[in-house]
């Protein structure tokens, strides 16, 4: 079992923002407030993988995505990887005044000893003031 990122709120945020976890993604993951932008949601979902915050990952998935998976699969995936870093490459819309957004990112992780990277163009939608992850734009 690889060492998981610390839940220490004063540790650097896993999303690589250079802020501490507490100043960055933790409030979103603990549902104290909603991520204001698609990028903030994307970053907090990455951090939630690192922290294996399965309920948060589930709750920020669109209803369509939930039909295709379950919490056990999310947990197994998050735990099987050692999350090494996130890079946001581009964003389109996804601002506080928008209802849809696109975030292109690369996540670096290690799985079964192999260094891997996941490049994705993700689509997000906002409903009742909350951002949700919809799917890959390139699917």
Residues of this chain that interact with Zn ion (CB under 5 A) are 13, 15, 17, 24-25, 43, 47
Q: Report the C-alpha gap between 71 and 50 in whole angstroms.
A: 15
18/112 with CB nearer Zn ion: 18
43/123 with CB nearer Zn ion: 43
Write the DSSP assignment of 97-121 as a string of letters.
T-SEEEEEEEEEEEETTEEEEEEEE
Provide the minimum distance between the beta carbon of 62 and Zn ion in the complex, in angstroms, as a whole number.
21
Provide the minimum distance between the beta carbon of 67 and Zn ion in the complex, in angstroms, as a whole number.
28
Provide the minimum distance between the beta carbon of 25 and Zn ion in the complex, in angstroms, as a whole number.
3
17/62 with CB nearer Zn ion: 17
Provide the minimum distance between the beta carbon of 90 and Zn ion in the complex, in angstroms, as a whole number.
18
Q: Looking at the DSSP assignment, which residues form a beta bridge with residue 104?
A: 90, 121
88/121 with CB nearer Zn ion: 88
Best CA proximity match to 51, nearest among 15, 104, 10 = 15
Best CA proximity match to 15, nearest among 83, 89, 113, 116 = 83
């Amino acid at each position: 079992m690889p060492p998981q990122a610390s839940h220490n709120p004063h540790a650097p945020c896993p999303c690589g923002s250079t802020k501490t976890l507490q100043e960055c993604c933790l409030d979103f993951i603990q549902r104290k407030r909603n991520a204001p932008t698609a990028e903030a949601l994307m970053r907090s979902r990455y951090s939630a993988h690192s922290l294996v915050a399965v309920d948060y990952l589930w709750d920020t998935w669109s209803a369509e995505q939930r039909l295709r998976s379950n919490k056990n699969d999310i947990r197994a995936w998050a735990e099987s990887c050692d999350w090494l870093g996130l890079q946001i490459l581009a964003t389109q819309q996804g601002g506080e005044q928008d209802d849809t957004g696109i975030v292109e990112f690369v996540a670096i992780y290690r799985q079964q000893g192999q260094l891997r990277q996941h490049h994705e163009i993700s689509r997000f939608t906002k409903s009742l003031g909350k951002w949700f992850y919809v799917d890959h734009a390139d699917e």
